[in-house]
Amino acid sequence: MTALALLLTLAAFGCFGFATDEHHHRLTGRRPGSAAKRRWRAAAWFGLTLAFVAAIAGRGWIVGPILWAALVMLGAGAVFLLLNLFLRRGCVNQRSA
Amino acid sequence: MKGGFRQSQAFLHTWSGLLLGWVLFLVFVTGTVAFWREGLNRYMRPELARVERPMAVLAGAQRFLGEKAPAAKSWSISLADARSPGAQVFWAPQPKKGEARGRRRGRRDTQALIDADGQVAHARDTRGGDFFYRFHFDLHYMPVIWARWLVGVASLMMLVAILSGIVTHKKIFRDFFTLRRHKGQRSWLDGHNATAVLALPFHLMITYTGLVTLMALLMPWAVVANYSDPAKLSDTLFPSAPAVERTGRPAPLVDLTTLVADAERRWGAPAGYLEVSEPGDAAARVTVSRSPASMLSSRTPRFAYDGVTGRPVWASAPPGGAAETAGAMIGIHAGRYADPLLRWLYFLAGVAGTLMVASGLVLWTVKRREKLPDPARPHFGFRLVERLNVTVIAGFPLGVACLFWANRLLPVEMKGRAQWEIHVLFLAWGAAAVLALVRRPTLVWPALLGATGMLLGLLPAYNLFAFPAGGLASLGVGDPLPAGVDATMLAFAAGYVAVALRVVRHRPPVRARTRRGSAPLRDVPAEMAA
Amino acid sequence: MTGWRRSGDMALRVVAAVPLGYAVGSVWAMALARLLPLAAAEASVTGQLVAFAICAAAAMWAFAASSGWRATWTLLLIGGAAAAMAWTSMAGGGRL
């Protein structure tokens, strides 16, 4: 359950990140339209909600919410590092863009 | 008003963060390390085996106290588990005639550690992880009340800094994943924002709950309003069985392990702490407290038993909603309830908080350096902040690394060894401070960061030779602690060395002096001129 | 909006934020402790728990207000109201 919750938060923040102009452009070469952004963000919120359910199911109503919050922060941080430090390497012409 | 509001909060954020920022850095570093308090208590006593049978340790503690202090006024025993080095025992002697209470508890000659075999531990004298825990709010070398006021005021300023930071951060969602690199001030800002926003729930929680842990000191007025005698509130919040009077008739103390077993059965959870009043007397009373690791609230329920017959005589009343909330807030701050995964997440969030404070302090100088009219002669405030930054942010971790080395290298038989490990921390930090005063920051930053990295990196190697039973060998018998600490140290060592190298290679753009009549600087990094 | 940078105005805001902000939080904690319809221990603890948020809010207001003087008199008013309630209640007796 905990692992599932973590995967869900990672996916959710992946969606949030993909919905931003900067990272979407870097990954696909196109800027996302506002409808696309809305869809990706809705998917992200849905993922966070499912992660909450998974956390409660796994750890109960006291530790569950705390674990969920911690996994949300971890997911956000991991996606941040992924988008900014690891996915950059493969891109050309990225110096001081 | 809108532009003015954001601006005013930006100003407030800068100053509430800066003025005691260095204190906050120390609090964050030691608090983050203190999440591994018990683990470090074990790690820094490498002679001790892991506790496998907590009840055997308790039986040993009872045997020890029965021989050492059979007629004491009270005994205290904190129960051991696999994570702790053993059972910590204290005893309070009977008060002499005319004294209201016995000698103060906690003095060196009325405490002992009982190891996994139920014997008095023969391990190096050290404060272990407890040092980091206490430093986190008591600091060192000062009366604890002063330290707690300082830490409390700093924490309130931290709360203001967080709230004003949130208000002032434009586009907090749009810039959530932004990290501009190689852009000087903007890169530092993005780093500061990232460590702050990504772990924002943690930072808000830890700051507010930290204030709550000190609220008896910082906010007594709400108590004064309702109580002319604050002790009455303590009786409500920390209930205990009625005190016993010594009868003078000796009677053997019941086997404590049976009482613990009974209490654990009633709670369905482990016990954490035992207190025995008037042991060896007919009126003996044993109070068992539930382990704070087994529930969220730090204020755990208690049972009291007759010390001779073992009959239960009292149970603590369930706390009211506000008391339970306060207990839960303190519990969520300390994280004693956390299992290993959640504890690692607490630790990572603490590291993020430490980086947030450090990057904020550095950002202040980076921002202002670009605006200095004469980079070769910055104003006093700038120089003060710059030197304090390197002294505290780079110097204190060096001290901590030296503390770990002192724990390994100081002679085991040395008197006052535990205090000297801490003196070594401050001596190293003092040396770093002197270096920071007399040498340019561009030199001192990589020197201190690199030294810290090397010290942390070499310690696991030393452990491999000096303590072959630890590290990988322990992993083999299912004890991940020594290897875990060593691996974490290696990871931090790599981080420190990487940052040190990055600082050494940093070449900021040249900025010509704006004063007339002076020769323009050629190819000299702005940092060198400062 | 540069008026608030003047040093006299700034000094007033700092005083409003720190000693006065703490005082406002404290008297509101006392007022809550006296007036909440709870047991004494519960009311006191509630007051303590909430006080820090009030102190922080007061400090933010001290800098957000359009002038240092406005910050000061508004906080004095808010604090005074709580102090009046707390003192009246305490004068009626009932301290454990």
Sort strands B285-290 and B302-306 into parallel, antiparallel or unpaired.
antiparallel
What pLDDT is attached to residue A90?
47
Task: Summarize pLDDT for A14-56 with one digit per residue, the tens.
Answer: 999 988 888 888 888 888 888 989 999 999 999 999 999 999 9
Sort strands B111-114 and B271-277 into parallel, antiparallel or unpaired.
unpaired
Domain of residue C15 covers 3-90
A89 pLDDT higher than 50:
yes
A:B CB pairs within 8 Å: 56
Phi, psi torsion values for B219, nearest 5 degrees: -135, 60
Where does residue B514 rank: exposed (0-12), middle (13-18), buried (19+ CB within 10 A)?
Answer: exposed
Beta-carbon separation of A16 and B176 below 8 A: yes
Residue C31, SS3?
Answer: helix
> Does residue B244 belong to any structural domain of this protein?
yes
Maximum alpha-carbon separation in chain C:
51
**B512's tokens:** 């010509």
Beta-carbon separation of B226 and C48 below 8 A: no
Q: State which residue of chain C sits closest to B13, comparing Cα positions.
A: C60
> Does residue C95 belong to any structural domain of this protein?
no
Which residues does B contribute to its contact with A (CB < 8 Å)? 174, 176-179, 181-183, 194, 198-199, 201-202, 296, 332, 337, 341-342, 345-346, 348-349, 352
Q: Tell me how many domains chain C contains.
A: 1
Contact yes or no for B37/B94 (Cβ under 8 A): no
What pLDDT is attached to residue B182?
83
C-alpha–C-alpha distance, residues C89 and C96, integer Å: 14
Beta-carbon separation of C25 and B219 below 8 A: yes
Whose tokens are 């939080």? That residue is C25
Q: Tell me how crowded residue B384 is: count the other CB atoms within 10 A of its CB.
A: 11
The runs of H, that is alpha helices, within B249-336 are 256-267, 321-334
Q: Tell me how many domains chain B contains.
A: 2
Measured between CB atoms, which of B198, B341, B345 is closest to A76? B198
What pLDDT is attached to residue B416?
93
Contact yes or no for B53/B257 (Cβ under 8 A): no
Residues B385 and B358 in one domain: yes
Q: How far is C40 from chain B (nearest CA, A)?
A: 6
C-alpha–C-alpha distance, residues A72 and B198, integer Å: 9
Residues B25 and B86 in one domain: no
Residues B475 and B415 in one domain: yes
Residues B342 and B430 in one domain: yes
Beta-carbon separation of B349 and A70 below 8 A: yes
**B142's tokens:** 């000062």
What chains are in contact with B, requiring at least 3 Cβ pairs below 8 Å? A, C
Task: Summarize pLDDT for C10-48 with one digit per residue, the tens.
Answer: 888 998 899 999 999 999 999 999 999 999 999 999 999
Task: Summarize pLDDT for C66-78 with one digit per residue, the tens.
Answer: 999 999 999 999 9
Beta-carbon separation of B342 and A66 below 8 A: yes
Q: pTM value? A: 0.93
Residues B473 and B337 in one domain: yes
ipTM (interface pTM): 0.94
Residues B395 and B491 in one domain: yes
Q: Write out the DSSP string of B154-178.
A: HHHHHHHHHHHHHHH-TTTTTTTT-
Phi, psi torsion values for B271, nearest 5 degrees: -90, 155
What pLDDT band is residue A87 in, cutting at 50, 70 and 90? confident
Of B76, B110, B114, the C-alpha closest to B93 is B110
Residues B147 and B119 in one domain: no
Q: Tell me how crowded residue A88 is: count the other CB atoms within 10 A of its CB.
A: 15
Domain of residue B292 covers 54-124+240-316
What chains are in contact with A, requiring at least 3 Cβ pairs below 8 Å? B
Tens of pLDDT along chain B (530 residues) come to 345 899 999 999 999 999 999 999 999 999 999 999 999 999 999 999 999 999 999 999 999 999 999 989 999 999 999 899 999 999 999 887 766 554 454 566 789 999 999 999 999 999 999 999 999 999 999 999 999 999 999 999 999 999 999 999 988 888 889 898 888 889 999 999 999 999 999 999 999 999 999 999 999 999 999 999 988 999 899 988 888 888 889 999 999 999 999 999 999 999 999 999 999 999 999 999 999 999 999 999 999 999 999 999 999 999 999 999 999 999 999 999 999 999 999 999 999 999 999 999 999 999 999 888 888 888 899 999 999 999 999 999 999 999 999 999 999 999 999 999 999 999 999 999 999 999 999 999 999 999 999 999 999 999 999 988 877 888 888 899 999 999 999 999 999 999 999 999 887 665 555 444 444 444 444 444 43
What pLDDT band is residue A78 in, cutting at 50, 70 and 90? very high
Per-residue pLDDT, averaged over A52-77, amounts to 96
Write out chain B residues lying below 8 Å of A23, CB-based. Answer: 177
What pLDDT is attached to residue B371?
85
Write out chain C residues lying below 8 Å of B206, CB-based. Answer: none
Measured between CB atoms, which of C1, C86, C96 is closest to B232? C96
Q: What is the DSSP letter of B100?
A: S
Helices (H) then strands (E): counts for chain C: 4, 0
What pLDDT band is residue A88 in, cutting at 50, 70 and 90? low
> Does residue B272 belong to any structural domain of this protein?
yes
Contact yes or no for C74/C18 (Cβ under 8 A): no
**Beta pairing partners, B89:** B77, B112
Residues B66 and B211 in one domain: no
Domain ranges of chain A: 2-86
Write out chain C residues lying below 8 Å of B11, CB-based. Answer: 63
Residues B495 and B370 in one domain: yes
What pLDDT is attached to residue B156?
97
Q: What is the DSSP letter of B77?
A: E
Q: How far is A70 from chain B (nearest CA, A)?
A: 6
What pLDDT is attached to residue B2?
43
Q: State which residue of chain B sits closest to A81, comparing Cα positions.
A: B177
What pLDDT is attached to residue B68?
93
Beta-carbon separation of B342 and A76 below 8 A: no
> Does residue C17 belong to any structural domain of this protein?
yes
Q: What is the DSSP letter of B87?
A: E
What pLDDT is attached to residue B518?
45
Task: Summarize pLDDT for B498-523 with one digit per residue, the tens.
Answer: 999 999 988 766 555 544 444 444 44
Instruction: Count CA atoms closer than 13 A to C95's CA, side-chain side.
Output: 20
> Does residue B64 belong to any structural domain of this protein?
yes
Contact yes or no for B195/A81 (Cβ under 8 A): no
